[in-house]
A and B are shown apart, each in its own frame.
Chain A
Amino acid sequence: MGNVPSAVKHCLSYQQLLREHLWIGDSVAGALDPAQLSLLFSLHLFQKETSGFFINFYGTISCLHWETPQLSGLPEYVKIVEVGPRDGLQNEKVIVPTDIKIEFINQLSQTGLSVIEVTSFVSSRWVPQMADHSEVMKGIHQYPGVRYPVLTPNLQGFHRAVAAGATEISVFGAASESFSKKNINCSIEESMQKFEEVVKSARHMNIPVRGYVSCALGCPYEGTIIPQKVTEVSKRLYGMGCYEISLGDTIGVGTPGSMKRMLESVMKEIPPSALAVHCHDTYGQALANILTALQMGINVVDSAVSGLGGCPYAKGASGNVATEDLIYMLNGLGLNTGVNLYKVMEAGDFICKAVNKTTNSKVAQASFNA
């Protein structure tokens, strides 16, 4: 109702609305509750980085305003793991030039994000989008207080990553035999053995390892995946020494019910503080699934700015959940993320122009009056 021109004239008040609703982490002086501080500290416990990281992180969060969550039972702080530069760009058709990738990551480093997955040390034969992994790793500015994990599918990739300056790595498992076979040409068991080698070397060098479990809520080949299988693979990775396991709804087929069942099973074996969710938005379910995970005590969520990365299993479909839309929800829930939404939107705008695509983020679509 109402004609569009007069509505557009009121965009100014609409933008004010945005500012009112979107808590962007403006600094408000306030003492930190020691209990909250120790909670944060325990989330980022690394032997090597303890003192340095703690000091940097404390410096950052002392400026942040603490809001009481509006919903009880939700974590007070949510760590966002930004996978746009890796999972996102890996699944885009356009191969982004190295200097653009570096600028993109440098922009993300200034948004308040504390973890940014930079690249993947996988053979360029399989993933040409990530062929410039060493140059990107060496070229980015590593900001204090931000971590820059990289994917390392095997020992060779691990050594290259370390040579290029990586100080954190991730390994990718799957809860589906068929997916494992088609994706990395080996069984789940064989892949676990490879990862054991990598994790062992990493631990020897005091390099933290994050584990991923793909197809946690469904597989493009096998269909339904039973929660017990996800638990088994997660437990194996956790037992090897992965500090955190990211459970991925690789094809986005999950819904809050299947998310709940899967998490209930995994949480019997692995503490929620060591778990993360990586939801794809292929069927529009990502935020609802993430909300469910948060309600169950998970406080680490993966996302990609602008919802970068399509779905290789459903042509034309979307992939990663958009970081902007995730932050919008978390802000609205009164949860602290430390991330500046506007800066993330700027980085999203930058990369979308570079990749020549429209953003998949609804928040960005609503906010940038094209």
Chain B
Amino acid sequence: MLSEAGLPVIEATSFVSPKWVPQMADNAEVLKGIQKFPGINYPVLTPNIKGFQAAIAAGAKEVTVFGAASELFTKKNTNCSIEESLQRSDEILKAARAADIPVRGYVSCVLGCPYEGKISPAKVAEVTKKMYSMGCYEISLGDTIGVGTPGVMKDMLSAVMHEVPVAALAVHCHDTYGQALANTLMALQMGVSVVDSSVAGLGGCPYAQGASGNLATEDLVYMLSGLGIHTGVNLQKLLEAGTFICQALNRKTSSKVAQATCKL
């Protein structure tokens, strides 16, 4: 349904151990099972070389690697330092280059960390630059706990844009404090033209129980349409996909556009 909505990139699954993320245990079946529409990319997360190989075996044509701008977050999340995690990613990048597979990089905690608190823009720039020079074609800068506000977004992007061209940057804003769309707008004003979002605002925040997580794609598309920015996405079809998954998950949508347009 998401493919039919016109989205150009749909992150399909994660080749991480089901011990850590049971929700993604069926990664290979999902990747093999989906219909791959022409012109749409279906990247998958690969946290290590084993996951990468499993992803390739399942037919992946694009992968993503995850870094963080916080040492503590990296330690708690992946049980190693930033340096070690970058080395792991480098392994994947080398293998990916050999297989002609593009790699997208993610940097978490770019506007704040649940353990360290404030994160310096310089640190974000440093990690981003490393991932870019390792060969990631694009780096998605993630406000993992949604604490950022437009000024902080601007400062962080200014620092990163000194090291990495803006065309290779994306923003991944969480809406935990309702700031996602305003932060995304700021990023757009600074020249960023790739934005991550999740239909129906799926995914809560593991660091703040009851809080929301991802920015809702419907609300993002609404804003971009209103701004006259072309996305190629059909909002109506997107809303249908959101309704479908919310019914399946038996949860209410986190998208305000969906709440306002749903006639139930």
Contacts and interface: CB of A to CB of B under 8 A. Distances in A.
Nearest to A20: B117
11 contacts: A1-B77, A11-B208, A21-B118, A70-B154, A71-B151, A71-B154, A284-B219, A290-B182, A314-B260, A332-B150, A362-B212
Interface string B247-258: 000000001110
Given A70-B154, A311-B260, A285 B179 contact: no
Contact of A17 (B112, B223, B225, B227): B112
A285 B223 contact: yes
Interface stretch (B5-13, B25-33, B170-178): B170-178
A31 interface: no
A136 B261 CA distance: 35
A284 B257 contact: yes
B148 interface: yes
Contacts of B76: 2, 6, 10
Interface of B: 16, 20-21, 76-78, 112-115, 117-118, 145-152, 154-155, 175-179, 181-182, 184-186, 205-212, 216, 219, 222-223, 225-228, 255-257, 259-264
A333 interface: yes
Nearest to B21: A1
Q: Size class of A's contact patch?
A: 35 or more
Given A70-B155, A325-B177, A283 B185 contact: no
Contacts of B225: 255
Contacts of A368: 210
Contacts of B181: 284-285, 287-288
Nearest to B47: A1
A281 B261 CA distance: 13
Contacts of A316: 259-260, 262, 264
Contacts of B259: 316-318
Contacts of A290: 182
B115 A13 contact: yes
Interface in A318-343: 318, 322, 325, 328-329, 331-334
A60 interface: no
B77 A285 contact: no
Instruction: Tell me which of B112, B208, B264 has the highest count of chain A C-beta atoms within 10 A of its own C-beta.
Output: B208
A284 B209 CA distance: 21
A358 B143 CA distance: 25
Interface of A: 1-4, 6-8, 10-11, 13-14, 16-17, 20-21, 69-71, 252, 254-258, 281-285, 287-288, 290-292, 311, 314-318, 322, 325, 328-329, 331-334, 361-363, 365-370
A252 B256 CA distance: 10
Contacts of A21: 112, 117-118, 147
Given A69-B151, A283-B219, A292 B209 contact: no
A362 B176 contact: yes
Contacts of A4: 206, 209
A367 B211 CA distance: 8
